[in-house]
Each structure stands twice: as C-alpha cells, then as structure tokens.
C-alpha cells in the first residue's frame, strides 16, 4: 500500500520572497513526492525580482510565479505548514504540523543580500525532505 503524498504550505507575509524560494526548492528537489503550496497573509503584486534572480542563479526559474493570498482551505489541506515571519496570520487546525523558520525578509534587498537567505532556505528544505518525503 502506498501512502499519500505529504502536502506542505509555505507562508510569509507577501509571498514574494521566502515562501516562493522554499516552495520552488521543495518542488525542484522532491518532485512529485510532495504537494507544494505557498501563500502570503498580505500578498505583494509580484515576486521580488532579486529573489527571481537569486533562484535563477541556482537553476530554478520562478519568474512566472505570482503571490497568492493565504486561505483557510490552503491550511486545511496541508499536512505541514511552515511560516516565515507571518506572525499569527495563519489559521491553526489540530492535526497539522506547524514549523516556523526564522529568516530575514528579502523585501527591498538586492540579490547579494538574498543569496544567503536562499542558501539557508535550501538547507532547511533539504532537512524537511529527509523528514517527510
């Protein structure tokens, strides 16, 4: 019997930086072994261009991604919810696993400042894959 794929939701305030990078890394590294979503409590109009460039440097293109609003349904259908600076904006449901990754916000930063955030997110995603996939 195969077990169902785990589902992960990454949440940050604007869904324009940290959560987009985390979702892209998880999708890229875990492939179809994990269902991946990202959202923001107050989504931006577009993904941060410095984040797009930083991800392009490691071979992942997120230029076509768009920030999405955090919904109760997105949390409800996720097994793991990972927040990154959104405070109490996430609805909480019993039976879910919640993690909070403390990471600097790349908003307003240039690509040089985004690189170490990107690299830390990759390390965290690698650890997450080892746990759930």
Residues recognised as catalytic: 12, 86, 90
Q: How many CB atoms lie within 10 A of CB 88?
A: 8
| Conformational region of residue 87, where left means phi above 0, alpha means psi within -120 to 50, and beta covers everything else | left
96-105 — which CB contacts under 8 Å span 24+ positions?
101/18, 101/22, 103/18, 105/12, 105/13, 105/17, 105/18
């Amino acid at each position: 019997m195969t077990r169902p794929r785990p589902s992960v939701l990454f949440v940050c305030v604007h869904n324009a930086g940290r959560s987009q990078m985390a979702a892209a890394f998880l999708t890229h590294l875990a492939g179809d072994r994990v269902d991946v979503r990202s959202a923001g409590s107050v989504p931006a109009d577009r993904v941060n261009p410095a984040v797009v460039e930083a991800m392009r440097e490691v071979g992942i293109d997120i230029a076509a991604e768009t920030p999405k609003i955090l919904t109760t349904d997105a949390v409800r259908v996720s097994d793991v919810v990972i927040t990154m600076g959104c405070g109490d904006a996430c609805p909480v449901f019993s039976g879910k696993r919640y993690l909070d990754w403390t990471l600097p916000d790349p908003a307003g930063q240039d690509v040089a400042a985004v690189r170490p955030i990107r690299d830390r997110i990759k390390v965290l995603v690698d650890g997450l894959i080892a746990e759930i996939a």
